[in-house]
């Protein structure tokens, strides 16, 4: 089970908000969860998410690409569960 920082379980198709780096700064970005998994990092099991950014984010500089990327679930918050309808469809 992979959860956000508030303890909510995360699944494919969920809309999340996460902290994303932009050079020396950090911005908040929205994304759809594409895959949920765990990885062993430094002897600890860490939740990992492959996400597809939506393009909605803080800051004034636009993201160059909406490609899928891997992120840790450490700084993620669930916004809307099953927004794509994949879990109950």
**pLDDT per residue of the chain (89 residues) written in tens, 0 to 9:** 899 999 999 999 999 999 988 788 888 999 999 999 999 989 999 999 999 999 898 887 777 788 999 999 999 999 999 999 887 65
Whole-number Å distance between alpha carbons of 36 and 16: 13
- Count Cβ atoms below 10 Å from residue 76 Cβ, excluding itself: 25
- Residue 26 pLDDT: 86
What would the two tokens of residue 24 be?
Answer: 């020396």
- Per the rule left: phi > 0, alpha: psi between -120 and 50, beta: everything else, 80 is beta
Cα 65–chain centre separation: 16
Burial, 16: exposed, middle or buried (Cβ in 10 Å; 0-12, 13-18, 19+)? buried
- Residue 18 pLDDT: 95
Q: pTM to 2 decimals?
A: 0.88
Give pLDDT tens digits for 53-73: 998 988 877 777 889 999 999
């Amino acid at each position: 089970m992979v959860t956000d920082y508030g303890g909510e379980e995360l699944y494919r198709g969920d809309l999340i908000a996460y902290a994303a780096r932009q050079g020396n700064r950090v911005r908040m970005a929205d994304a759809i969860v594409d895959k949920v998994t765990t990885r062993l990092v430094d002897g600890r099991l860490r939740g990992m998410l492959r996400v597809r950014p939506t393009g909605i984010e803080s800051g004034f500089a636009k993201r160059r690409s909406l490609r899928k990327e891997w992120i840790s679930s450490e700084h993620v918050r669930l916004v809307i569960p099953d927004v794509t309808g994949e879990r109950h469809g």
